[in-house]
Structure 1
Amino acid sequence: MNFLSSRGPALFGATLAACAPLAGAAAAETMHADYRVWLIGVPIGVATANVSVAESRYKMALNVRLTGVAAWISHLRMALASSGNYQSGALTPSGYATIASNSRETRTLRMALNGGAVREIQYSPPWYDQNSPDRVPLTDASKRNVIDPLSAFLMPAPAGANPVGPAACNRRVQVFDGYTRFDVALDYVGVKEIHSRGYSGPVTVCSARYIPIAGHKPANQATQFMANNKDMNIWLAPVPHMQMVVPYRVSLMTQAGTAVIEAAELRFTP
């Protein structure tokens, strides 16, 4: 997985903060979420998400940093931002950016999109490995009908459908992160009751699958592990006042053991 790979964040979000309006509704909502990250039961990081949906625009920011022993090993910090339009319950991202740094380097990526197609990407420092013969080639077709990883967190519940139940899952999200093109497939598992700061009530449990499409290295061990990983799930909480759901909990098996991302607080403001 490359330094700025958003495979993890995208699973955390198509799998971390999902929102979409009722079709045709002029509504507004903001969300603040504090998440805690564990690996094999040990706390290793925190993530903070802020989302605003108003009129026909949405904006989202996600900040991630390691804590405790993990921070001693790698001073990794990531900041992601995305914005775009929504209409009739559909999201159309227009801009996406990431910055990631550790004790050795800082990398940035900026991507412009229009109508579901990638128009421009800027890498700093340059990405010299993109034309490696070991990679499945990225074509123009693989950069169309996609959303960025942060917008992949924004999953609308169909208009008129109950946002708790099968309608919250049962979808395949097409993602391009600037490096690789992949899908995240969600399927309905069941409903649970949870109690947390800011929200207590039912959540929908979905299973998740990572499906590599292009830009990846098929022989890469991490890619193979994730593609064959059947131990991933996400719990989605409904957002008051709007036809949307947000991730409350994400659990996935990694090569180092089970990782869990769970909300310590979900706060909604209409």
Structure 2
Amino acid sequence: MRLIASALVTLTLAGSASLAQAQSPQGQTLKVSYDITLAGLPLGKADLSSSFNGAKYAMEGRAKLTGLAMILTGGKGEANASGTLAGDAPPRSTSFAVISRTSDNQRSVRMGLKSGRVAKVEIDPPLEPKPDRVPVKAADKRDVVDPMSALLMPAVASKSLTDPANCDRTLPVFDGASRMNVVLSYAETKKVEMAGYSGPVLVCNARYVPISGHRSERPATKFMQENKDMSVWLAPVEGPRLLFPLKISVRTMIGMGELQASLWSLDDGKSSAPDRKAETSGETVKAEAVP
């Protein structure tokens, strides 16, 4: 399930340009609320908030299972990430943290990065050693982005935000334990209407390519590696000139998993849809930046 959850998060989703291109108005914030379903059944809700201040960004997210899934597992989680944007280059993460809870266990990951390199990782409790776990090499921790920052996809320089070329990219993701590539390619362009957004979206096909840290003999790993039924719908965000997932679809071993945006608000959050308050817990995991 960790692999499937990671895939859902990281999907949600060349060249150089001046730093000024990535700058956005002071205090601009994008808030997106998602409904989570699995095999067509409601599974839970997630809320993501991404703030942009000049070249800097900060992201916070909370997810919670609902209904029967909540009764059976008590599942919920929260995450945060921060870093900088520079033109059409991938985000430069500086910190990432995530904590997941069920009714009978909890795990947290804290990671600090510098210039695209992982400098520090703390996983509590540590992952159990397994004979089929592919070792993570030092090179696998360079030129990477954390799973949350990977959702921010800067537009290709000189291209419009909805140019199909914006789909064609590879996201080099490291989640603290495993290194993977998420390879995107253009499928089609659609027009959508929802609370807070109406307009075109890019539909990108996605492929999961494990590099290291994964368990090579697990059926779930092999299934995801061969999985050709994954996609992400990207909506434009004008200020920082980037694209952000409106919908993420991943076929799992038990059915199609989807994150579908139900509310989208930019800047002042003007929307007729009610603001969903995420449940807070007594403990909040904090990311650790590397000086």
Q: Which residue of 2 aligns with 1:18?
A: none
Q: What are the within-5 Å matches in structure 2 for residues 165-180 of structure 1?
A: 165-180=163-178
Identity over aligned residues, as a percent? 36
Q: Which residue of 2 aligns with 1:7?
A: 7
Residues 67 and 22 of structure 1: is their aligned pair in 2 closer, same or farther, counting only changes over 3 Å?
Answer: farther
Cα contact 2:8–2:248 (8 A) shared by 1: no
Q: Which residue of 1 aligns with 2:231?
A: 233
Q: Which residue of 1 aligns with 2:80?
A: 81
* d(CA) in 2 for partners of 1:197, 1:114: 37
Cα contact 1:163–1:243 (8 A) shared by 2: yes
Secondary structure, aligned partner of 2:109: strand
Q: What are the within-5 Å matches in structure 2 for residues 97-246 of structure 1?
A: 97-129=97-129, 132-246=130-244
Q: What are the within-5 Å matches in structure 2 for residues 65-80 of structure 1?
A: 65-80=64-79
* d(CA) in 1 for partners of 2:41, 2:6: 22
> 1:159: how far off?
2.1
Q: Which residue of 2 aligns with 1:27?
A: 24
Normalised to the residue count of structure 1, the TM-score between the two structures is 0.92
Cα contact 1:23–1:89 (8 A) shared by 2: no
Normalised to the residue count of structure 2, the TM-score between the two structures is 0.85
Unaligned runs of at least 5 residues, structure 1: 16-20
**4+ aligned runs moved over 6 Å, structure 1:** none
Secondary structure, aligned partner of 1:230: coil
Report how many aligned residue pairs link the two structures. 261
> 1:24: how far off?
1.8
The letter for the 2-side match of 1:120 is K
* d(CA) in 2 for partners of 1:86, 1:219: 37
Secondary structure, aligned partner of 1:179: coil
Unaligned runs of at least 5 residues, structure 2: 269-291
Q: Which residue of 1 aligns with 2:55?
A: 56
> 1:102: how far off?
0.8
* d(CA) in 2 for partners of 1:36, 1:4: 16
Cα contact 1:196–1:265 (8 A) shared by 2: yes
